[in-house]
Amino acid sequence: MVDPTQASVSTPPRRRLAVLGSPIAHSLSPALHAAAYRVLGLNWEYTAVQIGEGELDGFVDGLTPEWLGLSLTMPLKHEIQPRLDTLDRVATLTGAVNTVRFGDAPVGEGDDSTTETAPRPFFGYNTDVAGLVRALAEAGMDRANHVTLLGAGATAASAVVTAAELGAETVQIIARTPGRADPLLDLGRKLGLVVAVAGLPAMAAADRVSDLVISTMPGDAALQYEFPAALRANTLLFDVGYAPWPTALARSWAAAGGRALSGRTMLLHQAVVQIRIFLANDPFLPLPDEEAVLEAMRAALDAADGTAPGRAVEG
């Protein structure tokens, strides 16, 4: 006879998770997470759900107890914040949350039908910075004195924190609308960085010196200006987009003989940190046999390469 206690231990509980955003059809996250869950032996389901601006509250209000957490892309990284009970340091700094872990709801004593269940606590994290730092380290970039940042959107804040993590002293932000970068100036000051902001014409500055260029602009963006050929030939470009690839910017880097990396590795590494959070509510606690998990996720990403339609900047 099977001991029911042992059966419950050996059969992992079913959990549901999802990545939310708009657009979301391009997302490679379900393939990444499914590969990791197989290695970890988890009975978890991770799907992609189209949720647009203003639709998040209705979705969250309808979640049932088997839901464990969410990954968020734009435009939801800011919209979720009023629902959160705690934020990690990076989410607090950047003002952007891409991972939500639901805690267990404390249940009132007694079995009366009127007994109410207290709301589940919501924990908010930003794993984009960890993903970007880990992806750059994998590419051999673990230090940078001067970083040039293209774009001023939500992911740009994570790029500024990444620059600080790399030990940068100065960050040059180049944006279509320089005024949008004002929050990044404030963030840079908090981090002890010297931050300057300029419009797109600054891309063509012949005397620009940089150790690293990070682009957070949409991959299909047509840019009127181009970085100097010498900079493109000698400075690493990390483009957070990954579909379509190569982006226009990456093609310009290749034309100059330079090295350009896509956001696929950032997506991979931030997903590893997300799964740490989903499993243990701790972004710093390595997964069981994390190297095997990472390799399975990398294989899933390679298998899906080229199948994601449209533009993709995810995290």
Residue 77 is part of a domain; what is its CATH number?
A: 3.40.50.10860
How high is the pLDDT of residue 76? Answer: 93
Same domain? 277 vs 296:
yes
Nearest to 271 by CA among 157, 131, 137: 131
Q: How many whole angstroms separate alpha carbon 10 and alpha carbon 234?
A: 54
Nearest 5 degrees, angle CA 250-CA 256-CA 261?
A: 30
Helix (H) or strand (E) holding 171: strand 170-174
DSSP 256-290: TT--EE-THHHHHHHHHHHHHHHHHS-TTSPPTTH
- Whether 119 and 105 have beta carbons less than 8 Å apart is answered as yes
Ranges of residues in the chain with a pLDDT under 50 are 1-9, 107-116, 307-313, 315
Same domain? 114 vs 148:
no
Strands 260-261 and 99-102: unpaired
Domain count, the chain: 2
How high is the pLDDT of residue 6? Answer: 45
HSE, side-chain direction, 13 A CA sphere, residue 16? 10
Handedness of CA 212, 189, 184, 196 (dihedral sign): negative
How high is the pLDDT of residue 314? Answer: 56
Same domain? 79 vs 61:
yes
Say if 273 falls within a structural domain. yes
The residue to which tokens 């209000």 are assigned:
61
CB atoms under 10 Å from CB of 193, counted, come to 19
CATH of the domain at 179: 3.40.50.720
How high is the pLDDT of residue 119? Answer: 85
Preceding peptide of 23 cis, ω within 30°:
yes
Expressed in angstroms, the distance from the first to the final Cα of the chain is 47
16 strand-pairing partners: 45, 67
Q: Which domain, by its residues, includes 100?
A: 4-127+266-304
Same domain? 155 vs 52:
no
Distance of CA 171 to the CA centre of its chain: 21
Same domain? 123 vs 141:
no
Say if 314 falls within a structural domain. no
Same domain? 30 vs 151:
no
Same domain? 68 vs 174:
no
Say if 309 falls within a structural domain. no
Same domain? 119 vs 244:
no
Same domain? 14 vs 122:
yes
Token pair of 283, please?
Answer: 């972004």
Helix (H) or strand (E) holding 44: strand 44-50
How high is the pLDDT of residue 111? Answer: 44
Nearest to 126 by CA among 67, 187, 195: 187
How high is the pLDDT of residue 75? Answer: 83
